[in-house]
Amino acid sequence: MLKPNQKSESSKKNQVERMFDSISFEYDLLNGIMTFNNHKRWKKNILNIAKKLKPKNALDIATGTADIAINLGSIPDCTVTGVDISEKMLNVGREKITKMKLSESVSLETGDAENLKYENDYFDLITIGFGVRNFQDLKKGLTESLRILKPEGSLIILETSVPENRIIKFLYSIFTRTYIPIMASIFSKDRSAYNYLLDSAEAFPCGEAFGKILKSVGFNKVEINPKFFGSSTIYIATK
Ligand SMILES: C[S@@+](CC[C@H](N)C(=O)[O-])C[C@H]1O[C@@H](n2cnc3c(N)ncnc32)[C@H](O)[C@@H]1O
């Protein structure tokens, strides 16, 4: 079974790709059920931050079914690219882009966050929603984002986090360990995928700890904005 801290390069990346391929069909539905649709609000928060930056060339890494890329597509004169290692997640995103007639401003490509094909200093904005905790090598993925970001460009990351308040943390862990497996068993063929998603959310560094990692790879300024009692966090890092 896939483990959050698995180190073997090919196996973790391949397993993550296969896992998201296997849940691509139900991913949007379960994302809505598991976050009570809060994920949409957080993704709108990203859009509002992004709009102020007036990007012209944006990249959404680990774009999955492309919610964030599609949101960014509403920014005037902004070209958006989404990349992901799961072709099936991208296919769901491509259908949404076609239906919404956004193909001129938003395009999706297969790509690995840890080894991207783009030139140095290429994008003025990069976003990553619920993606970084799946990277095989977190620092490699963040360093790659830094490389392709223009000087003074911004990286906006949305990721699950663990509430700091001990009582909320306790209630949150009871909730995630009961509600999410029940929902996964009803709506998904692949329960183990949701066990991995829960384990990886608990194991992943968050808040100041993740902020320090962003600074350690070379980002200058890092803002940390916890959402919904700290169950998710938006990080804004500047090159
Ligand atoms: C939880 S989904 C998030 C999808 C979308 N960004 C969202 O917010 O709903 C995580 C995505 O990260 C992708 N992913 C994991 N590791 C990746 C990597 N190294 N490079 C690119 N995408 C990756 C997975 O294929 C999956 O689509």
Is beta strand 149-160 parallel, antiparallel or unpaired with respect to 106-110?
Answer: unpaired
Coil, strand, or helix at residue 126?
Answer: strand
Q: How far apart are CA 204 and CA 187, in angstroms?
A: 25
Phi, psi of 81 (to 5 degrees): -120, 140
Tell me the pTM. 0.94
Atom of ligand 1 nearest to the CA of 128: 6
Coil, strand, or helix at residue 176?
Answer: helix
Q: How far apart are CA 98 and CA 175, in angstroms?
A: 37
What is the predicted pLDDT for the residue at 194? Answer: 80
Q: Which two tokens stand for residue 234?
A: 């938006």
| 49-87: burial string, b at 16+ Cβ within 10 Å, e else | bbeebebebbbbbbbbbbbbbbbbbebeebbbbbbbbbe
Reading the chain (239 residues) residue by residue, the pLDDT tens digits are 566 655 555 578 899 999 999 999 999 998 998 888 999 999 999 999 999 999 999 999 999 999 999 999 999 999 999 999 999 999 999 999 999 999 999 999 999 999 999 999 999 999 999 999 999 999 999 999 999 999 999 999 999 998 888 898 889 888 888 888 888 888 877 778 888 888 888 889 999 999 999 999 999 999 999 999 889 999 999 99
Domains and CATH numbers, the chain: 9-238 (3.40.50.150)
> Which of 12, 18, 20, 65 for a ligand 1 pocket mutation test, highest count of atoms within 8 Å of Cβ?
20
CA of 171 to the centre of ligand 1 (A): 27
What is the predicted pLDDT for the residue at 1? Answer: 56
DSSP state of 119: P
Q: How far apart are CA 52 and CA 78, in angstroms?
A: 12
Surface-to-core class of residue 181, CB atoms within 10 Å of its CB (0-12 exposed, 13-18 middle, 19+ buried) = middle
Contact 111, 105 (CB under 8 A): no
Q: How far apart are CA 20 and CA 91, in angstroms?
A: 12
DSSP state of 229: G
Q: Which residues have C-beta atoms less than 6 Å from ligand 1?
A: 16-17, 20, 31, 62-64, 67-68, 83-86, 89, 112-114, 129-131, 134-135
What is the predicted pLDDT for the residue at 10? Answer: 55
